[in-house]
């Protein structure tokens, strides 16, 4: 089927970007909004986004005008009658989508394909609301749609043969990379991403670390393009909340229960970028630079020599009667602290990548020792991330369960290793997919880290996935690829 006229329903965060993607590829677009006010907002999104592309030299003004000319904006669904494809991008609420699809089925010509951009809802349930369930698929774009290369194409058990391939072909024509998957809540990316974002909100709410410290840990430390709270603000906290509810309904996994903090912010109308404020306000606080006030210290644990050497070069002396003991570890250090004559001087330090040091305070650590440890980490060029002395501190606690989820997804045969890695790279802009990350960190290290998390929290889904356990037991350092 040739897709030349495409409808997009809902021109919010996603729909406006999706309309732009189609128009850029030369297709005619009919954009439908709920009312005149929302339509004006949608037009604003389109004009600003293409305007930015001109400012950045990615489009010339004449191309921009041509793109905007290809888009017809309307508040009448009836204008979709001759569309070859309609992509729906209204809020993540099943009843609203079902009622829209009933209408689209009546309005659109019988051979038209109807697609939903849902992040998590059942495509099968939406398809069943129509008289053409075989021609209903998921076409899941990523935010911002003009930039992110991934499109998840979701087929159901009733999708007609060939329709998924046609939509995947269209995605390629748009310059995107399709990954085709079955109908399961969250598909690949959101099933892996959203529980991690939700977990970050739980750590914040539980006071394990502060907002900007978690952001720094995951960007400077784990190398992700955005911190979890900036990403939640970009996605929209209402959308993220709805996706977590759908995931929880399907899995009944406690980790998928939306963080109470998320619900609170949504109820308060703090939805992220689209409402001007979410986890972040207008101003993002950057970690401050500083000088060390420490006089004496000692470093112990694996890798202590290198840290001590860097500090010695900067003129800081070690001593057996120190102001602070830096215990290098990736596990809680309180058991080491209690063996000291002065447990209040011990701080756990976990070096993450080249730029971050998690600085963990036990229940006994004094504020002065924490301040000293933070200063010393700045001296060696690392951004300190103060946190509580818990298994995995911040980075591993957030990263490892996500990696484990990816192993389970592969083990269940839902997606291949290559698709999972590609999906996270192209859908989230991650520098590496989860399998690539595990192979560079070390499968045994990830397995051991998960065991420690499980031992601390007794969360069933923190237990290492059997496949990971078996690969480590077999002495393998990588995943077997076909």
Kindly state whether residue 118 participates in binding ligand NAD, applying the rule CB under 6 A: yes
Binding segment for ligand NAD among 168-176, 234-242, 282-290, 440-448 (CB under 6 A)? 234-242
119 is catalytic: yes
Kindly state whether residue 89 participates in binding ligand NAD, applying the rule CB under 6 A: yes
Check if the beta carbon of residue 17 is closer than 8 Å to that of residue 145. Answer: yes
**How far apart, in whole angstroms, are the C-alpha atoms of residue 186 and residue 193?**
9
Binding mask 12-31 vs ligand NAD (x if CB under 6 A, - otherwise)? xxxx----------------
What is the nearest approach in angstroms of ligand NAD to the Cβ of residue 26?
23
Kindly state whether residue 33 participates in binding ligand NAD, applying the rule CB under 6 A: yes
Whether the CA torsion 334, 338, 343, 344 is positive or negative: it is: positive
Q: Which is nearer to ligand NAD, 87 or 372 (CB)?
A: 87
**How far apart, in whole angstroms, are the C-alpha atoms of residue 54 and residue 46?**
12
Identified catalytic residue from 117, 119, 404, 461: 119
Report 139-168 residues binding ligand NAD (CB under 6 A): 140-143
Q: Which is nearer to ligand NAD, 90 or 209 (CB)?
A: 90
Check if the beta carbon of residue 7 is closer than 8 Å to that of residue 30. Answer: yes
Q: Which is nearer to ligand NAD, 100 or 399 (CB)?
A: 100
Distances (CA, A) of 229 to 194, 210, 212, 216, 263: 11, 11, 9, 11, 14
Report the SS3 class of residue 151.
strand
Kindly state whether residue 269 participates in binding ligand NAD, applying the rule CB under 6 A: no
- Where helices occur in 412-479 by DSSP H, the ranges are 417-428, 434-441, 443-457, 466-473
Helix (H) or strand (E) run with residue 327 in it? strand 324-328
Report 96-115 residues binding ligand NAD (CB under 6 A): 100
Kindly state whether residue 122 participates in binding ligand NAD, applying the rule CB under 6 A: no
Q: Which is nearer to ligand NAD, 1 or 98 (CB)?
A: 98
198 is catalytic: no
Q: Which is nearer to ligand NAD, 80 or 452 (CB)?
A: 80
Beta strand pairing call for 356-361 and 346-352: antiparallel
Check if the beta carbon of residue 93 is closer than 8 Å to that of residue 48. Answer: no
What is the nearest approach in angstroms of ligand NAD to the Cβ of residue 57?
26
Helix (H) or strand (E) run with residue 71 in it? strand 71-74
What is the nearest approach in angstroms of ligand NAD to the Cβ of residue 38?
4
Q: Return residues touching ligand NAD (CB under 6 A).
A: 9-15, 32-34, 38, 89-92, 100, 117-119, 140-143, 235-236, 239, 274
């Amino acid at each position: 089927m040739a897709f030349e006229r495409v409808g997009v329903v809902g021109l919010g965060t996603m729909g406006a970007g999706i309309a732009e993607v189609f128009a850029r590829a030369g297709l005619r677009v009919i954009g439908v909004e709920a009312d005149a006010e929302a339509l004006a907002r949608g037009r604003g999104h389109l004009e600003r986004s293409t305007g930015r592309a001109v400012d950045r030299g990615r489009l010339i003004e004449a191309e921009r005008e041509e793109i905007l000319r290809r888009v017809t904006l309307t508040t009448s669904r009836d204008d979709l009658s001759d569309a070859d494809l309609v992509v729906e991008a209204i809020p993540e609420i099943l009843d609203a989508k079902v009622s829209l699809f009933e209408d689209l089925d009546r309005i659109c010509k019988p051979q038209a394909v109807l697609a939903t951009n849902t992040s998590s809802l059942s495509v099968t349930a939406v398809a069943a609301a129509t008289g053409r369930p075989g021609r209903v698929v998921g076409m899941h774009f990523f935010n911002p749609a003009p930039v992110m290369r991934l499109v998840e194409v979701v087929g159901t058990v009733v999708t007609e043969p060939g329709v998924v391939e046609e939509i995947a072909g269209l995605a390629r024509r748009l310059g995107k990379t399709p990954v085709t998957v079955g109908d399961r809540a969250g598909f690949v990316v959101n099933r892996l991403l959203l529980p991690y974002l939700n977990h970050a909100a739980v750590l914040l709410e539980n006071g394990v670390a502060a907002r900007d410290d978690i952001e720094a840990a995951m960007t400077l430390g784990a190398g992700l393009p955005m911190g979890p709270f900036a990403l939640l603000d970009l996605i929209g906290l209402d959308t993220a909340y709805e996706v977590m509810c759908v995931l929880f309904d399907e899995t009944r996994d406690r980790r998928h229960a939306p963080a109470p903090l998320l619900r609170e912010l949504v109820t308060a109308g703090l939805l992220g970028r689209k409402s001007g404020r979410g986890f972040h306000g207008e101003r993002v606080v950057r970690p401050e630079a500083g000088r060390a006030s420490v006089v004496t210290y000692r470093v112990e644990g694996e890798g202590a020599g290198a840290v001590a050497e860097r500090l010695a070069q900067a003129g800081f002396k070690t001593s057996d009667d120190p102001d602070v003991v830096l215990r290098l570890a990736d596990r809680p250090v309180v058991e080491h602290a209690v063996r000291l004559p002065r447990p209040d001087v011990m701080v756990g330090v976990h070096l993450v990548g080249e730029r971050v040091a998690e600085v963990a305070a036990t229940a006994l650590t004094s504020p002065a020792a924490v301040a000293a440890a933070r200063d010393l980490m700045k001296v060696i060029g690392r951004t300190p991330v103060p946190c509580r002395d818990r298994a995995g501190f911040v980075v591993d606690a957030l990263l490892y369960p996500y990696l484990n989820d990816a192993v389970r997804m592969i083990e269940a045969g839902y997606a291949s290793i290559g698709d999972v890695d590609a999906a996270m790279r192209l859908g989230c802009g991650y520098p590496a997919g989860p399998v690539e990350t595990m192979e560079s960190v070390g499968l045994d290290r990830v397995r051991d880290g998960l065991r420690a998390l499980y031992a601390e929290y007794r969360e069933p889904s923190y237990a290492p996935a059997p496949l990971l356990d078996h690969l480590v037991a077999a002495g393998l350092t990588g995943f077997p690829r076909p």
